[in-house]
Amino acid sequence: MPADQTLASTPWNQGWYIGAQHCASPNFGARPTDAVLDLVLLHSISLPPGIYGGDAVERLFTNTLDWDAHPYFQTIRGLEVSAHFFIRRDGVLWQFVSCDNRAWHAGQSTYRGRDNCNDYSIGIELEGLEGQTFEPAQYECLSGLLRAVSEHYPVRHLAGHSDVAPGRKLDPGPGFDWSRLSDLRAQLGLDVPCY
């Protein structure tokens, strides 16, 4: 069975996706009671930038990063952020925040006239760097995750961080191949900005 079908049939437990490795982040909050969870935001991250395969992203999202371990970490010292999901270069999927809660991934943001995207979105970080390409295993994992999320939540929109924070954020960047998701987006009825 293809990986995306396996992921799509995997159940949820109180906003936690059973198909992911779980590592709870303290960086989250309650969603507003009237929030309609209809947006998935794609991001890219690597720590230090352009370095892949370590545990720095997981440590950042759990407030356990050693700020002295690399000179770059001093530039983000004290940052408290999270995402719901993180897809590593090899396609391994991590979850840090229940999708029923608000992760801290979008910051100051607006989508289609609605501010505070964290309130109504699910944040997915891809291990990567703006301008660089992503791995086939990441697209495969992302496709299965998008299917599972869309079957469980009323998601209708898919956008990049750059779409909700233009001028401030560039991710996932020009290296992300939106066309690889075109068939899936059509199947799921996901609306995206023009790519």
Point out the residues that are catalytic. Answer: 125
CA-nearest of 35, 136, 117, 126 to 85 is 126
Burial pattern 3-42, b for ≥16 Cβ within 10 A else e, equals ebeebbeeebeebbbebbeeeebebbeebeeeeebbbbbb
DSSP letter, residue 152: H
8 Å CB contact between 84 and 105: yes
